[in-house]
């Protein structure tokens, strides 16, 4: 399986368990690795035979800015589902970063990574 990778997609979302997170929002960063067989697209030089990563980027950030959820796990699943809705995508690995998570000790980042594939 070939991979198309988008790193560092940024958007403000209103996700989290705390009321303040849902009221004020915060930045989220998303990395997506898409498993795609790109041979047909490469042979034909035809975008229609692969996945348009510009569209995927817009959909990922739209998911982040969309309806709120409590858990990063839920947000990551929503993003993976959106990626897998593209016919060419066979696998999706999604990492959601929450660099301003409400943690009382110094930290660099909080992430969750999930990997999903078509059944």
Active-site annotation holder among 78, 82, 86, 98: 98
Radius of gyration of the chain (CA): 15
> Is 98 annotated in the active site?
yes
Cα separation values, 39 from 34, 45, 52, 75, 118, Å: 15, 10, 15, 31, 19
70's tokens: 């409590």
Active site residues: 98
């Amino acid at each position: 399986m070939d991979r198309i990778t988008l790193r560092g997609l940024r958007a403000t979302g209103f996700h989290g368990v705390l009321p303040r997170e849902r009221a004020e929002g915060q930045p989220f960063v998303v990395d997506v690795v898409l498993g795609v067989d790109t041979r047909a697209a490469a042979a034909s030089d035809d975008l229609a035979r692969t996945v348009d990563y510009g569209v995927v980027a817009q959909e990922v950030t739209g998911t982040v800015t969309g309806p709120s959820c409590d858990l990063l796990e839920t947000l990551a699943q929503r993003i993976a589902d959106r990626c897998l809705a593209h016919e060419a995508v066979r696998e999706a690995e999604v990492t959601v970063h929450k660099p301003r998570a409400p943690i009382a000790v110094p930290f660099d980042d909080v992430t969750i990574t999930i990997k999903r594939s078509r059944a």
